Structure 1
Amino acid sequence: MKGVLRWTDGWAVGLVAASPRALQAPYLLMLASLVALFAAVGYGVTGSIWGIVVNQNHRLSLSQTQAVLWSTIIISGYAVMALFNVGAMAWSTAALDTGNEIFPDIDWTIFALMGLAAAVPMTTTMISDARPLDAAYSAKGMIGGAQIGLAASERNDTAQKASLFDLFLGEDIETKGRIDLTRVQNVLFSVLLLMAYSSALVSSFQLLGPSVLLDSASSGARIFEAMPSPGANFLTLAGLANATYLIGKFTPGKPEPAQPAGAAGAAAADQNIGAEI
C-alpha cells in the first residue's frame, strides 16, 4: 500500500508540474503545421518554398511576409484555445445547461492588427502597379528641390531567385543593391512585436492547472476567456513602423536642371519652326 501511495503522490505531483506546459506543445505543433502548409503551397505554385510571400516582381515581399506571420501566430493561438475549450466543456453538464460561450473573445486591437496586416500588402501592390514599367522615373512632386516619386521596380527573372535579402534591400532601380533603412526598421520592429505577442500567448497557456480544470468542470465557465490583447500602444507602434515603410517607397530623385530665362520660349519657337519646315 505504501508503494501505491507513493506512486499516486508522484503521479499527482507530475500532473501539477506538467499541466502548465500542456498546451505549449500543441501550439508549437500548430505553428509548424501552418508553416509547412504555406511552404508547400508556395512551392507547388512557384517552385519556391517562399512562394506564398513572393510578389509580382519575384521578390520576397516584406508586407506579405508580415501578413503571413501574423496570421500564423494568431490563428494558431486561437485554434488551440478554442479547441481546448470545446474539448474541456463538452463533458461539463453545467456548460451544456447554461449555454455558456465556448470560443475565446477577441479584442478589437487584434482585429485592427489583422486588418493592418492585410491593408499594407494591398497598399504596396497599388504602389507597385503605379511604378513605370521601364527604367523611367515617374516624378510625383518636389520637396526641397528634389523630385519625390516612383522609380521602376527591380525585378527578378524567376521566383526561385527570391531570397531573404529582399527584405532588407531596395526594391526599385534607384535603390537596388542598397540597404533600405525603412525596411530594416520595419523588420526589426516586426520581429520585436511578433516575439512579444508570441510570448504573451505562451504565458497564457501556462495559467492552465488542475484547479482551473476542476473549476471549469463545476461551473461550466470557459478555461480560456479571451486571447491576450496587444493593447493600443502595441498597435500604434506597428502602425508607425508600417507607415514609415510605405513612405520609404517614394524614392527621392535628382532635381531637374534649371533652365535660363527665356529658354522655354526659345525651345517652343524652335519646335514651331521645325514643324513648319
Structure 2
Amino acid sequence: MDALTRVQIVWTETRDLRVPAGGDPATLSTLRRNVAAIANESEKTFSRFEPIPARDDDLFGPDVVDCAAAAEASPSGGLKNLRLILWPSADGKTLSKDDLAPPAPWNSAPPETLELIGRFTVDGHDVSAFSRMVGENEDAPRFVSIVTGTGLPPDTGVYVPREKPRRKVDPKLSRIAFWCTMATVGFFAVACIWSLSIGNLTRSAQNLFAVSAAGPLCPTTIDPANPGTLYGAPRAWLPTATDNGACLKAWQAATVTALDATNRDWWSRVKGWLTSWTVSDSGRAFSLRMPMLLMMATITLLAVAAGLGVVGRPLGLFIDKRNRMSLTRIQFAIWLVILMGALTTYAMFNIGFWAEDLNRIHEGLAYMANAGKTDQKLTGWSDKLSNLLEYMPRMDLALWGLIGISGGTTIVSSFITQPGTPSAPTTAGTMIPPRRTRILSNPDPKDAELADLVYGETAEDEGVVDSTRVQAVVVTGVLAAIYINLALEAAERIGGLTSAEAVNAGTQIFASMPPAGATFLWLLGISHGALLGGKLIGAYKGGGT
C-alpha cells in the first residue's frame, strides 16, 4: 500500500477523535501509528478513504501532519500482527457490552490480553482504544471502530455515520418544486409540438406553392451571372417598389391555404393554430422564435425546480459543496440552456418538415442501392437522402470546443477549490499539497449569495472583488447574448425560398447549428483560462503576501 492511501485511512479513522482534558496527546499519535501499521498489513480491512485537508489548514492542519507522520513512519516490530478496536470502556480495562456487544474475537478476549492505547472522546461519547495480538485461525477484521463502523456490520449504529443526512427542505418548497417540474413537462411538450407544427405547416405550404402556377417559375438556385444570389434571394423573390412579386404572392397564397383549418381533423387544427402565432411579414414567412424561447425557458424552469427541491433555493443548482454560488456552474448552465434549446427546436422543425416523406426517403435509398448506381443523373443523391434522416443539426468544432471548455472548467474548478488535495508522496514535507490559504465556505446553502460570483474564494481575498471573475461574467454574458440572438435570427423568416430550396436540393432546412467561429472560441477559451489561473493563484500563492 502506498503512503498516500495510508494517510487517507488514518485520517478517516481518527479525524473525529479528541483527547479528553488532562489526557496525553501522545496517545492519539500512538493510535494513528497502530492504524497505519494495520493498514499496511491488511488493506482490505478498510473501505473508507476520505479527502485530506491541507497541512496548513487552520482547523485540521496539526492533525493532518500527525496522520502523515504516522503513515510514513516504518512500523516497529511491536506494531506488527496486531488487532485494534475503538470501543466504549467503563474502566479502561474491559470492553463495554451494555449497548452493543463487541464482535468476535473481541467478545471473548480475556481482559489480560488487552493493552490500552488511550482514551478519547467523539461527539459526546467516550471510547477507548485497545490492541491485542492476532490469534491463530482468526480471520475477523483486524480493525474495529464503533466511531466509523469499520469492521462492523453495515447497519450498526455508530458515533460518526459514513454520510451525513441530506439537509431537509421545507415541504412547501418541495411541493412548489414538484409543480414546477410538472409545468416543465407540459411546457416542454408544447414547445416540441409547436416547433413540429411549424415544420409541418411549412412543408404543407411548400407543397401548395410547388403546384401553383408561379411555383415552377420561381428560381431557388444560385445564378452565376448574379453574385448577389450567393448570399441573398434571387430578384424574382424580392418585393417591388409597389407590391410583392409573383413568387411572394404565390407563397403567401400557399401559406393562407395551409393555415386554413376548415374541414380538418382536430390535430391539424391544433397545429395550424399554434403555427398561426408565428407567421411574420404578412404571411411571407414562419418563425421559430417563440417556441425556441419557450424551450429555453422550460430548461431554465427545470433548473429552478431542481434547486428548490434539493436545496430549497431557486438557484440551488448552482450552489457547490462549499455552499457558495459557483460561477463555473452558472456558465455551463447558460450554454446548456442556449445550445439545447436551439438544438431541440431546430430538430423538431426538421422532423415536422420531412417526417411525412420518411417512407419515400427509405424507398429512394433502396432504389439508390441498386439501379441508382448506374444512373448518372442520381449521382450524389444517396448521401443527400441519408442526410435527410439526420434530423439533429450538426455542430461545428467551435461549438464542440465551447462545450468542452465550459464543462472542463467546471470540473477543474471543483478540484482547485477542494479543501486540500494530496499529491503523490515524496517526502514528509511534500505529501500534502502546500495550499497557502484557506478556501472560503459557508455553513449552510442559505448563506450563498450572488456576490460570490465576483468575490474572491480564499480567506486572503474575502470580500475583495476578483477581476478574473468579473471578466468571466462579462465575457460569458456578451458571448451568450451574441449566440442566442444568432440562434433566434436564424430561426426567423422561414419562407418560400428557404423551403423550396430545401426540397429541390434534398437538404434539411436546419442542417447545422449557427456557427460560433474561431474568434468566439478564442475569447471564451482565454476568459476561462484566466478564471482558472486566478483560482490557482488564489489557492496556492505564497504565504505572507
- Scaled to the shorter chain, the TM-score interval is 0.7 to 0.9
- Give the whole-Å Cα distance in 1 for the aligned partners of 2:284 and 2:471: 39
Question: Structure 2 counterpart of 1:127, which letter?
Answer: I
Report the 3-state secondary structure (helix = DSSP H, G, I; strand = E; otherwise coil) of the residue aligned with 2:418: helix
Alignment partner, residue 329 of structure 2:
64
- Give the whole-Å Cα distance in 2 for the aligned partners of 1:85 and 1:55: 38
Question: Structure 1 counterpart of 2:317, which letter?
Answer: I
* 8 A contact 1:151–1:174 mirrored in 2: yes
Residues 16 and 36 of structure 1: is their aligned pair in 2 closer, same or farther, counting only changes over 3 Å? Answer: closer
TM-score normalised per structure 2:
0.40
Query: In proportion to residue count, which structure has more helix?
Result: 1
Residues 123 and 9 of structure 1: is their aligned pair in 2 closer, same or farther, counting only changes over 3 Å? Answer: closer
TM-score normalised per structure 1:
0.76
Q: Which has the higher contact order (CA 8 A, sep 6+)?
A: 1
- Give the whole-Å Cα distance in 1 for the aligned partners of 2:291 and 2:451: 32
Report whether the alignment pairs 1:239 with 2:525: yes
Alignment partner, residue 177 of structure 1:
463
* 8 A contact 1:46–1:159 mirrored in 2: yes
Shift of 1:170: 1.0
* 8 A contact 1:16–1:210 mirrored in 2: no
1:84-123 map, 5 Å: 84-92=349-357, 95-96=361-362, 97=364, 98-99=385-386, 100=388, 101-123=390-412
Residues 164 and 16 of structure 1: is their aligned pair in 2 closer, same or farther, counting only changes over 3 Å? Answer: closer
Alignment partner, residue 40 of structure 1:
305
- Give the whole-Å Cα distance in 1 for the aligned partners of 2:415 and 2:438: 14
Shift of 1:159: 1.2
Task: Compute the RMSD of aligned alpha carbons.
Answer: 2.7
Report the 3-state secondary structure (helix = DSSP H, G, I; strand = E; otherwise coil) of the residue aligned with 2:439: coil
Residues 10 and 200 of structure 1: is their aligned pair in 2 closer, same or farther, counting only changes over 3 Å? Answer: closer
Report the 3-state secondary structure (helix = DSSP H, G, I; strand = E; otherwise coil) of the residue aligned with 2:417: helix
Residues 26 and 247 of structure 1: is their aligned pair in 2 closer, same or farther, counting only changes over 3 Å? Answer: same
* 8 A contact 1:216–1:223 mirrored in 2: yes
Alignment partner, residue 510 of structure 2:
224
**Segment of structure 1 superposing worse, 102-111 or 207-216:** 207-216
Shift of 1:213: 2.4
Give aligned-pair identity as a percent.
27
* 8 A contact 1:92–1:217 mirrored in 2: no
Question: Structure 2 counterpart of 1:49, which letter?
Answer: P
Residues 33 and 9 of structure 1: is their aligned pair in 2 closer, same or farther, counting only changes over 3 Å? Answer: closer
The partner residue of 1:213 within 490, 499, 504 is 499
Residues 216 and 41 of structure 1: is their aligned pair in 2 closer, same or farther, counting only changes over 3 Å? Answer: same
Q: Deviations over 1:12-60 (max 9, x none)?
A: 8x95615656200011000100000011011111111111111111111
Residues 10 and 67 of structure 1: is their aligned pair in 2 closer, same or farther, counting only changes over 3 Å? Answer: closer
Report whether the alignment pairs 1:80 with 2:345: yes
Can you give the 5+ residue segments of structure 2 that lack an aligned partner in the other structure?
1-251, 258-275, 365-384, 422-429
- Give the whole-Å Cα distance in 2 for the aligned partners of 1:224 and 1:128: 41
Shift of 1:219: 4.7
Report whether the alignment pairs 1:126 with 2:412: no
Question: Structure 2 counterpart of 1:104, which letter?
Answer: P
Question: Structure 2 counterpart of 1:197, which letter?
Answer: Y
- Give the whole-Å Cα distance in 2 for the aligned partners of 1:104 and 1:154: 43
